[in-house]
Every structure is written in C-alpha cells, then in structure tokens.
Amino acid sequence: MLRRLLFAIAVAAGFGGSAAHAVEPSERLADPALEARARTLSQQLRCLVCQNQSIDESNADLAHDLRVVLRQRLVAGDTDRQVLDYVVARYGVFVLLDPPFARATYLLWLTPPALVLGAGLFVVLRARRRPRPEPAALTEEERSRAALLLGDSG
C-alpha cells in the first residue's frame, strides 16, 4: 500500500504542472502587464550558464541577474525590442534562444542541414560503390532440378 502511495505521488509530481519557472517572488513586478512582458522576454533569452534553458527556467545566478536587468529596462520604459537589443549588445547574439538568420549566425543555422545532406550523400555514394556480388553459377544438379520444377524438358 505504501509503495503504491509513493508511486502515485511520484507520478503526480512528474505530471503536475508545466515547465518549471525560476522567477523568484522578489523579482516579480507589481504591474501585471509589465510582468507578463518580462516573462515573455525571459523565455526568449538563453541562460549562458545552462545553455539549453531560458533565463525564465534557470536557477543560475547569471540568469537571475539577467531577469533583474530585463525588468529594470522594462520599468525604465524600454520596448521589448530595445530590451532584447540591449541584452544582445551586452552578451552577444548567442543569448537569444532563437537567433536571427544573419551573417554572424550562418554557421549556426547552416551546419545542421549541411551535416544531414553530407551524411545522406555519403550513404548514397557508399551504397553505389559497394560491389554487387555476382550470382553463383548453378551446378548441373541444380540446373536439372530447376528444369524439373519449371517443367522444362530441355
């Protein structure tokens, strides 16, 4: 009974809720509209420590600092674009979870498709170069058996 209860609690904890958010109560803005903008922007920025999480999800100190800076810029009256431009100017385009297709990010955007195409080309060329085995010649016994099976009297 206890095992079932613990299992049910573990399952409920695993399914209970959406993505984790690391925004601390002290970071939240009093204005709900500004806070909603801050949350939307923080989901677009990469945590430079975790690298596969947004600053909205990360508990890293740098993510906390970025969330605070982002909210300070919003309170100062910056638009969403100005906030993103400020953070990119300070930390580079890598801080964006969805970087733009620009000269600085060509390598980032074009490497995965190039690798897939290269691997496909390699497989195709390898398959074409592989020598096809010649069918083995039939023995006299196999020929006569095949003639019987095919009804060939010759």
Residues 46 and 111 in one domain: no
Residues 64 and 93 in one domain: yes
Closest to 29 measured CA to CA, from 17, 44, 45, 41: 41
Residues 118 and 94 in one domain: no
Condensed to tens digits (0 to 9), the pLDDT of residues 54-70 reads 888 888 888 888 889 99
Angstrom distance (rounded) from CA 98 to CA 95: 9
Kindly state whether residue 58 falls inside one of the protein's structural domains. yes
Kindly state whether residue 116 falls inside one of the protein's structural domains. yes
Closest to 104 measured CA to CA, from 119, 120, 89, 84: 89
Angstrom distance (rounded) from CA 109 to CA 147: 62
Count of structural domains within the chain = 2
Residues 51 and 115 in one domain: no
Decide if pLDDT at 7 tops 80: no
Condensed to tens digits (0 to 9), the pLDDT of residues 106-145 reads 888 899 999 999 999 999 999 888 888 888 888 999 988 9
Residues 24 and 87 in one domain: yes
Which residue range is the domain that position 38 belongs to? 17-99
Kindly state whether residue 25 falls inside one of the protein's structural domains. yes
